[in-house]
Amino acid sequence: MKAIRFKQYGEPAKVLEVQECPLPEPGEGEVRVRILASPINPSDLLFVRGHYAGVQPHFPSPAGFEGVGIVDVLGPQVSGLVPGQRVVVINGKGGNWAEYVVVPAFSLLPVPDDISDLQAATSIINPASAILMLRHVLAIPKGEWLLQSAAGSELGRMIIRLAKHDGIRTINVVRRREAVAELEQLGADAVIVSTEGPIDEQVRQIVGPQGVKYAIDPVAGETGTRIYQALGEEGRMLVYGSLTGEPIRVGADPRFTLAGRRTLEVFWLGYWFPRLDEATRRQLVQERVSLQRAGILTTSAAQHFPLDKIGTAVTQAEATDRQGKVLLVPEKP
């Protein structure tokens, strides 16, 4: 079979390559799945660059944490699944950028017939993160303000729609003025452009001198620092990424840092999801499917690339003018 591997950390377009590998056989409690589609997410590219603290690769390493596929072969002691069944593939170690993958049976979720391959392939990382951050970790009350950066990303757009659905008001940070009208049409209550003035000052012009109580940020660096400085005295901020690779300067202004009780927390889905009890996990799956069907936690139309075009695919996944999620789609056997 074909599978994408990398032998060392580096820029994805340079170090990722397609290899011919033996078809894997499932062991006890495992299932072999034929992959239909797998997205290229920021976490995948951080993993390849060596900046993803949650998972350490063993070289030559596979890649791809999320995807959708067809159950191919069941290993011993597997029940509740049948060959030919369509499933979401949660691959905590990476490996979905391949024609076939073997994973534990508990890593698979059945896909309802009315959910497309695109939505199924992208149904865990972004939708689950949006639900957990807004409804569980921060538990934002109706009517409160939520400040978020990278609002034009796929996850940012989901958060706008979910917040609107839940009665939460959003202030959304983008880098380009051209993105403002589109996000307002999605339901954003306010959109600010980071290049047009300090983020915290623009936020206070909208909500008043007290600042916001809730914020989320995947950028870090100067953007994350300004997001933190936009918090009110009891504010809480979740950092769920580090697109700049730079630190957030919490102590940039000691007068601000030592006043009030502002909280800076880290959100990583790989930490939260396994620690959910079974009832909460089932509830999360039900919420996700319901919100996908309602068009709230859906992914925009994607660009598809075969495995052989991995270099082009990862480059396009980070293009500033990209529309929709980039998917790797193995050729049909």
Q: For the residues 95-123, what does the mean pLDDT come to?
A: 94
**Per-residue DSSP letters for 118-147?**
HHHHTSSHHHHHHHIIIIIIS-PPTT-EEE
Same domain, 202 and 77: no
Domain holding 216, by residue range, is 125-270
Quote the number of domains for the chain.
Answer: 2
| Residue 275 placed within a domain | no
| Biggest alpha carbon–alpha carbon distance for the chain | 63
The pTM assigned to this predicted structure is 0.89
Average pLDDT of 115-136?
94
Choosing from 254, 270, 286, the residue where a domain stops is: 270
Instruction: Judge if 129 and 266 occupy the same domain.
Output: yes
Angle between helices 221-229 and 199-207 (to 10 degrees): 30
Do 103 and 184 reside in the same domain of the chain? no
147 and 85 in a common domain: no
Residues 142 and 240 occupy one common structural domain:
yes
326 close to 305: Cβ distance less than 8 angstroms: yes
Count CA atoms closer than 13 A to 192's CA, side-chain side: 24
Q: Is residue 73 part of a domain?
A: yes
Across 128-151, average pLDDT: 96
Encoded tokens for 60: 């030559």
What are the residues whose beta carbons fall under 8 Å from the beta carbon of 147, sequence distance 6 or more?
170, 171, 173, 203, 212, 214, 215, 216, 227, 230
Query: Mean pLDDT across the chain, nearest whole number?
Result: 92
Check which CATH number belongs to the domain holding 91 and give it: 3.90.180.10
Q: How confident is the model at residue 242 (pLDDT cuts 50, 70, 90)?
A: confident
115 shares a domain with 20? yes
Instruction: Judge contact between 212 and 192, C-beta under 8 A.
Output: no
Which residue type is seen at 14? K
- pLDDT of 95: 95
Which residue type is seen at 17?
Answer: E
The string of pLDDT tens digits covering residues 54-96 is 678 889 999 999 999 999 999 999 999 999 999 999 998 899 9
Task: Confirm whether 276 is domain-assigned.
Answer: no
For residue range 245-296, list pLDDT tens digits in order: 788 888 666 766 677 788 999 998 888 888 888 888 888 889 999 999 999 9
pLDDT tens digits, 246-255: 888 886 667 6
**pLDDT tens digit sequence for 152-200:** 999 999 999 999 999 999 999 999 998 999 999 999 999 999 999 999 9
